[in-house]
Amino acid sequence: MDSLSKLDEVKTTRWAGGREPWSIEYGKIMMWFFLVSDAFTFSSFLIYYGAQKFAQPTWIDADKIFQSIPGIADHGQPLVFVGIMTFILIMSSVTMVLAVEAGHRNAKKEVVKWMVWTILGGIAFVGCQALEWTHLHHLGFWFGQNPATGLTDPAAISAALQPYFTNDISYTAALQFSNLFFTITGFHGFHVTVGIILNIIILCMVLNNTFEKRGSYLMIEKVGLYWHFVDLVWVFVFTFFYLI
C-alpha cells in the first residue's frame, strides 16, 4: 500500500515534470533552438571559406579589394566603410536591447522609440551592403565571376587580377573568394532583411496595443534574440572576410 501511494505522489523537483525546468516561455526556447541551428548554417559557410583558403596556394588581399568609401573615396581606404557598417549594426543591437528593457517596464512609448531606431539601423546596414555589392559588381566580381572571367591569355588574366593580390595570383582563388563573399554576405543580408520585416511587424503590434492587452512584451524579446544573432554573425563575417 505504502509503495503504491508513493507512485501517485506528485514530485516537486525541477526535472520531475509538473513545472518548467527552464522557466522560459515555449516560443523563446524555440527561437533559441532555431538560432542554434542557424548558427550551424553560418558556421558551415564560414568553415568552407576557411577550408578554401587553406586549399588554395594564394588568396585575395582583403585590404586591396575592400578599400572604397562610396561617394567619398574610390580606393586607398581599407576597412573604413565596413567599420561604419559594423558600428551601425552594433548600435542597432543596442537600441534593440533598450527596446526589450523598456518592454520589461511596459513602457510602450519607449519601446516604439527604440524599435524605430532599430529598424532604421537595419535599413542603413542593408543600404550600405547594397553599395558594397554594387561596387564589387562594377569591379567584375559576382556569383561565378571575377574580373578575369572570359579571358584566356595567362598574361591578361594575371593583369586583370593583379590589383587584388599581394602574393601570387590565381584565377580559381579569386573565383572562390567572389562566390563565397556574395553567398555569405548575401545570406547574412537576407537575415537582416527578414529581421527588419519582423521588427516592423512587431512595431505595428506594439502600436496596435497587442502586447499591452496581452500584459507582456515578451515578443520583443524573441525578435530581439533574432536581431542580436544577426549582429553576432556579422562579428564573425567581419573578422573572416575583412580582417583576416
Partner 1 sequence: MAHHDHTLDSHDAHAHGEGMGVKRIWQVFGILLAITAVEFLVALGFVHHWNIVEKGAALYAFYIVLTLIKAYYIVAFFMHLKFEKKSFIISCSVVFIFIIYFIVLMLIEGGYLLDHFQQHPVYPNK
Nearest alpha-carbon partner for 187 in 140, 223, 236, 151: 236
| Residue 183 is a binding residue for partner 1 (CB under 8 A) | no
C-beta of 143: minimal distance to partner 1 in Å? 19
- Pick the closest to residue 206 from 91, 110, 96 (CA basis): 110
Which range binds partner 1 by CB under 8 A, 49-57, 128-136, 185-193, 195-203? 49-57
User: Which residues within the stretch 199-218 sit at the binding site for partner 1 (CB under 8 A)?
Assistant: 215-218
- Residue whose cell numbers read 569591379: 139
Restricting to residues 104-133, name those near partner 1 by CB under 8 A: 104-105
The yes or no reply on residue 38 touching partner 1 (CB under 8 A) is no
The binder of partner 1 chosen from 16, 30, 36, 130 (CB under 8 A): 36
Residue 23 touching partner 1 (CB under 8 A): yes
Q: Is 169 in the site for partner 1 (CB under 8 A)?
A: yes
Answer for the pair 172, 56: CB distance below 8 angstroms, yes or no.
yes
Distances (CA, A) of 171 to 10, 30, 58, 61, 135: 69, 44, 10, 14, 20
The interface with partner 1 within residues 81-100 (CB under 8 A) comprises 83, 86-87, 90, 93-94, 96-98, 100
- Single out the residue of 148, 168, 145, 174 nearest to residue 159, CA to CA: 148
Q: How far apart are CA 31 and CA 202, in angstroms?
A: 15
Residue 187 contacts partner 1 per CB under 8 A: no
CB of 43 to partner 1, least distance (A): 5
CB count in 10 Å sphere of residue 131: 15
Alpha carbon 87 to its chain's center: 13
Per CB under 8 A, the segment of 1-9, 54-62, 116-124, 188-196 that binds partner 1 is 54-62
Residues 55-84 that bind partner 1 (CB under 8 A): 55-58, 63, 78-80, 83
